[in-house]
């Protein structure tokens, strides 16, 4: 069988996106999904996303990591599928859709897509790092000399180490640039390597930096290897983070046809 696909990227975090409203794509074949994501033997991507019909909202987002396994929420993927839905004519400029972590609102303004993330209430802070779930689990750690830091080796150790063990965590290494600007490099589980950007990761970094007093700003700029993202949020009196928005570009790179 042949199927049309589209390639999108959001600050270098790239995805194969397929219109699966007809439900023809075989979601049970994880090996094939991994092959499609392979950068040498397939199309190449950090993950694969399916756009499907939903009975109550505009669409459903189904996300698979590059290893072929269905994964937790992907923020940049959510922004890219929103741009794709607009391209298909499924939405106009605003949308509500369902992902694995629940409902999300999003809006498109030319090439910029803003995605509302889930509320965050539980943030664990330690002497060396913070841990929180922004739709996916994230370890956040300040380091020196981020530019030359070995993200893959150090990220791999933490991803499989205690206390994360089998379930694992995404690992974010951070350097503060100014009061409201941070550089971030992320090791992503499921990709098992550094990615150029991670949407749930920069969301976690912004919240962790605010929670630990590294910034007082509620509008934070994150410099990733693939470009710039912004996070805006509000904080309630009890310390819960809500109305969290992930903002940045989402671009269609190319389209094609693949056999599987």
Give the active site residues: 74, 198
Distances (CA, A) of 74 to 20, 79, 157: 18, 9, 22
Q: Contact 115/82 with Cβ under 8 angstroms? A: yes
Interhelix angle 75-88/199-211, rounded to 10 degrees, is: 130
Name the residue among 185, 193, 172, 198 with its Cα closest to residue 67: 193
């Amino acid at each position: 069988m042949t199927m049309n696909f589209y390639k999108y990227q959001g600050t270098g975090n790239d995805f194969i996106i397929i219109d699966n409203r007809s439900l023809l794509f075989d979601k049970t074949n994880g090996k094939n999904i991994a092959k499609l994501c392979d950068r040498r033997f397939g199309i190449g991507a950090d993950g694969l996303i399916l756009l499907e019909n939903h009975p109550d909202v505009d669409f459903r987002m189904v996300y698979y990591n590059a290893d072929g396994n269905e994964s937790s929420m992907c923020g940049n993927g959510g922004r890219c599928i929103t741009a794709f839905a607009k391209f298909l004519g499924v939405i106009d400029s605003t949308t509500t859709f369902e992902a694995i972590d629940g409902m999300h609102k999003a809006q498109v303004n030319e090439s910029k897509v803003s995605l509302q993330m889930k509320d965050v209430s539980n943030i664990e802070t330690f002497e060396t790092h913070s841990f929180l779930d922004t739709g996916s689990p994230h370890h956040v750690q300040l380091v020196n000399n981020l530019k030359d830091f070995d993200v893959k080796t150090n990220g791999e150790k933490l991803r499989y180490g205690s206390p994360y063990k089998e379930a694992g965590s995404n690992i974010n290494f951070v350097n503060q640039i100014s009061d409201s600007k941070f550089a971030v490099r992320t090791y992503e589980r499921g990709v098992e390597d550094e990615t150029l950007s991670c949407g749930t990761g920069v969301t976690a970094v912004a919240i962790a930096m605010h929670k630990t007093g590294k910034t007082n700003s509620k509008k934070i700029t994150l410099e990733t290897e693939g470009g710039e993202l912004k996070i805006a949020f509000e904080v309630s009196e009890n310390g819960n983070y809500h109305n969290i928005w992930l903002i940045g570009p989402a671009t269609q790179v190319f389209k094609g046809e693949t056999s599987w």
